[in-house]
Amino acid sequence: MKVRFGGRPFAKSTFGKCLNGSAAVVAIESGDSPDSDAADQGFVYGLSSTQRTVAITSGPAEASGSRAERSVIRPYRDEIAQNPSHLQRLTTSQKLLLDHFLHTVTRSFSLHAKSHHGFCSTYLTLALHSSAQVLPTVLEASAHHRRSLGLEHSDHELLSLRQASLQNFQVPQDVSDDNTRDIAAATALMLCLCDVIAGGEKAGSWKLHLQGAMAILRQSPTGATNQTQMSTQRRFLYRWGESLEVLSLLGPAAALNDELVESNDDESDYIDEFHGFSRSLVQLIRQAHLLLLEQQSLREGLVQIGGQSHGAGLDRLSRIIQTRKEEHNFHPSLKSYIGSETQSDFVAVNVAFHHAVLLQLYRRVQGLAWDDSSVEQSTEAILTSLSQLQLREEACPGVAILQPLFDAGCSSTQNHHREQVLDLMDVLRKYYAMGNVSRAKAFLLEYWQMWDDTRARGGDLLWNDFLSQKGWELSLY
């Protein structure tokens, strides 16, 4: 459009002079007297040279209605820089990393455009307006991701960002200061993500950052963790941290303990856009985790565990999981945002996670043989569900499939199943460039070779036992 102002092309008009460096828009006061007309109150916009003083013309209204003019010279403090930006204090390299974080990194772990927007708005606000703690961790995550993609990067800059991230991190001392706690929790969660993107092999440091973040988020003067009582920013951080915490219980490096607190949500069950599966499964995962804790204690020498040791409780949990996997409700606030294709993708991920938990129970708790029909059925169900997904280079449910895909891989004995697992991992790696995918793939290739040799001798080898023997560190989200 050709914009005109006062009958002239905009560039040649009064306001068009703003486009060159010799003038700036300023607020010019008018109507200083309380007797002035209402229309004269407030201010108008005008032009001024970039000198440090500006002439203000104003005056009280006279009886005749005309205005007496007086000229006042005042210090010019309202100069507006041309093309102002919140990013002026960032270097060119830092701006590149921030742009990569917002447009590429965040969609690599966002299951939906709504949560993608939440990551961008939450972390951009914290990084640019709140604290020097958050920005280095955001830039570090971006630098790790660019290296994982094979893009140009600086190892020296990456080390500098890691040093700045750790040096600036501060554990909040004042529990009542919500903003300070949010900054600390956001920083710890981003440090966790940095280690995951880098491959998750750093001696469990990602777990320490995650545990620290959730401890901070659960601190409050009243001890309340009800999400309805939280600010929008706190609730977003809590839900993301909770989803990572739940997945860490299923992952290969899960610390067997009883630290996962029950959710205080009063909402009905629905497929959660952070988890990728039904919220009811969260407590079922917790129960499965407790069974693994019991099984580990027994294996350490209390008694010799058998396949039926957990009896009716385990059978009941398996039946509940089998039933719940058929329920596919969505929260009203999310359902209004997603189309039928995305809903189908969420359903596929939900089914896959339910079968992943079943595989954990079958193999790690019950000790079922690798060729048991229940194991084979759940493995097939996971791969069938995940093969129906549409993986896209954007925020989508497919970014969450690494955990169930890994569980299916650890139970796959047939070559065509293993090829499916590797193909899906390659697609994940290509689209989202998370370093933990490559680590998981490398582990499976090594595990399959050892497992095949053990089965050829008439034995069996659980993946978690092999992981412990080899000292692997993995993160699967």
pLDDT at position 252: 60
CA distance 205 to 213: 12
Give CA–CA dist 225/384, Å, rounded: 37
Tell the burial category of 68 from Cβ atoms under 10 Å away from its Cβ (0-12, 13-18, 19+).
exposed
The amino acid sitting at 32 is D
Q: Distance between CA atoms of 447 and 20, rounded to whole angstroms?
A: 66
Q: In terms of residues, how long is the chain?
A: 477
pLDDT at 75: 44
| Predicted pLDDT of residue 444 | 95
Are 7 and 14 contacting, i.e. CB atoms less than 8 angstroms apart?
Answer: no
Per-residue pLDDT, 228: 65
Task: Return the pLDDT at 11.
Answer: 72
For 453, list phi and psi in degrees, rounded to 5: -65, -40
Single-letter code of the amino acid located at 145: H
What confidence score (pLDDT) does residue 385 get? 94
Q: Are strands 8-9 and 4-5 parallel, antiparallel or unpaired?
A: antiparallel
The pLDDT assigned to 25 comes to 54
Confidence (pTM): 0.71
Note the maximum CA span of the chain: 111
DSSP per residue, 28-84: EE---STTS-GGGSSEEEEEEESSSEEEEEE-PBPTTS-B--EEEEEE------SS-
Q: 427-457: b or e for each residue (b if 16 or more CB lie within 10 Å)?
A: ebbebbbbbbbbbbbebbeebbeebeeeeee
How far is 124 from 116, CA to CA, in rounded Å? 12
Tens of each residue's pLDDT in the chain, 477 residues: 666 766 777 777 766 666 665 555 555 554 444 444 444 444 455 555 444 444 444 444 444 444 444 444 444 444 555 555 667 778 889 999 999 999 999 998 899 888 899 999 999 989 887 567 899 999 999 999 999 888 888 888 888 998 988 888 877 776 667 888 899 999 999 999 998 888 766 656 888 899 899 989 887 654 445 666 788 899 999 999 998 888 888 766 455 444 444 454 445 678 888 888 888 888 888 888 777 777 666 655 443 434 444 455 566 666 666 665 556 677 666 766 778 888 889 999 999 999 999 998 899 888 899 999 999 999 999 999 999 888 888 888 999 999 999 999 999 999 999 999 999 999 998 888 888 898 899 999 999 999 999 999 999 999 988 888 876 766 766
Distance of CA 432 to the CA centre of its chain: 13
The C-alpha torsion from 184 through 188 and 193 to 194, rounded to 10°, is 100
Q: How far apart are CA 447 and CA 380, in angstroms?
A: 19
CA-closest candidate to residue 257, choices 302, 290, 281: 290
Q: Where are the domains of the chain?
A: 4-75, 97-462
Alpha-carbon distance of 78 to 43, in angstroms, equals 13
